[in-house]
A and B are shown apart, each in its own frame.
Chain A
Amino acid sequence: RKEVEQDPGPFNVPEGATVAFNCTYSNSASQSFFWYRQDCRKEPKLLMSVYSSGNEDGRFTAQLNRASQYISLLIRDSKLSDSATYLCVVKGAGTYKYIFGTGTRLKVLA
């Protein structure tokens, strides 16, 4: 089983739609969680960290469910510019390694 798993997609959604991605992780000791966005042929860019209580940044909401070992990303009112691959990243306590999922591809259609 992979340490971090994501549905590769693609998720094709119309503009204005709400879309949600999940990411599951296998190590219950994981402590830090992030969502990154990667555009085609570009480097990953931090979208948001995921806090235990959940957090929101504009149209983006991240949630952590420790009991079921998954994190989620909700995008409301999708824009064409949201089209990208979304990477889930998990890090254990006291470790240096960041474990990346293979990403979920989102296409927002006009």
Chain B
Amino acid sequence: GAGVSQSPSNKVTEKGKDVELRCDPISGHTALYWYRQSLGQGLEFLIYFQGNSAPDKSGLPSDRFSAERTGGSVSTLTIQRTQQEDSAVYLCASTEAPAFYEQYFGPGTRLTVT
């Protein structure tokens, strides 16, 4: 079946612009996660959704970052007034439920802020 999809796959933007990153989880997966991975680094947790609710936003690096999820499906991560340190790969993952289940990742969006 279809896996997690993300768009765009690559995004180059100028410092100060806003960007929107999209994630389509696996159909039926109720839990959705956003992570960030900088070059050569581990995965940094950003935010978690259960359905349309985000019980934990503590991983968002600053108030320039926000995310929403609608219809228990698609999620959008928005970065306002981008900075060069925002350059990274943004990964989305979904799981059937936030219990013992494995996470499945999308291919990521590579964001470059110039």
Contacts and interface: CB of A to CB of B under 8 A. Distances in A.
Contact of A44 (B31, B43, B55): B43
Contacts, number: 42
A45 interface: yes
Interface residues of B, number: 21
Interface residues of A, number: 20
Contacts of B45: 97-98
A32 B98 contact: no
Contacts of B100: 31-32, 91
B105 interface: yes
A69 interface: no
Interface of A: 31-32, 34, 42-46, 49, 87, 89, 91, 95-98, 100-103
